[in-house]
Amino acid sequence: MPRKIGEIAAIDDVSFDINQGEILGCVGGSGSGKSILGRMLLNLVRPEAGEVIFEGRNIAGLSEPEMRPYRRNLQIIFQEPLNSLNPRRTVAENIARPLLNFGESRESAFRRVRDLMDIVGLLPSHANRYPHQFSGGQCQRIGIARALALKPRFLFLDEPVSALDVSIQAQILNLLKDLRDEFDLTYFLVANDLKVVEHFSDRVMILYQGKIVEIGTAKQVNQAPLHPYTQSFLRSALHMSSGDEWQTAAIETESLNELGREEAVEAAAGDRKGCIYGSSCGQRLAICASKSPEMTGETQMHTAACHLLTGAAPQHQRIES
């Protein structure tokens, strides 16, 4: 019989707002909970507690029939563009499917498909081809067209360029930004690459083990990070030619999912009473083991959950790593 070693929350005590027309980027390592959080915003994963307020209504508790009117406005663009498309349907059929599902006539739906293909940079000759005949970047354009079919207001971008070449990443991100401006869309973007998020997002939220540890404008978080985890996360992106600092940063940012499964659950479950990053932090204080820090900062626009920002440092001994 399997041994129960503990329980951890994939998302825990997370609260934030996304303004109309804003791009909020969410960055974190693998297993930080960022994709689950995005799916919670669309009510694809139901939270055990809390609310998800969209246009003044809590959608977290709605049944599938009750959610159906909201599905038009809440769409997703997936990480794996080819796998997100039905291989047995043509490009036009993939894009038209949401419209047909919501009762649009085939004639009207395929007129809309032609417009959408032009908007995302696909040729009319592509309409009757199949997804496997296209590159990853082209498949992502198909996925974007499908997500726009119902004229949504909010899009969850689930690592939309991580599977693409660097040169294609820039093209897709520029397309998404142009679409945001043209159609007044709101984006929630999750990614592993803080530099990608910096150039694309208005604000950036750093997630670690299901908790927000820092949030601020893209410029603030990248140029003056407050939380030790964010600082280490940025340093870990250094090129190897920078000496051995990249090795130190990689060790500092070692995430729980890189440990054995049992050790990961035990460590996470044990750390919930204090700072979740305390066991890995090179700047930890004695208080970090017993008290979870609150979000604080010099301005309301840039805050972090760290005892170093609350004036606790002079009162509590620093623990040597």
- State pLDDT tens for residues 229-263: 999 888 876 443 444 444 444 444 444 344 344 44
DSSP-derived pairing of the beta strands 302-305 and 186-191: unpaired
Sign, Cα dihedral of 48, 53, 58, 60: negative
Q: How many CB atoms lie within 10 A of CB 173?
A: 19
Stretch 99-122: mean pLDDT, rounded?
Answer: 97
DSSP-derived pairing of the beta strands 203-208 and 186-191: unpaired
pTM: 0.86
Cα separation, 191 vs 180, in Å, equals 18
Instruction: Encode pLDDT of 141-167 as tens digits.
Output: 999 999 999 999 999 999 999 989 888
DSSP-derived pairing of the beta strands 154-158 and 186-191: parallel
Among 201, 136, 194, smallest CA distance to 163 is for 136
Taking only Cα atoms into account, the Rg of the chain, rounded to an integer number of angstroms, comes to 22
- Superfamily of chain region 8-209: P-loop containing nucleotide triphosphate hydrolases (3.40.50.300)
Domain layout of the chain by residue ranges:
8-209, 227-239+259-316
Residue type, 232: S
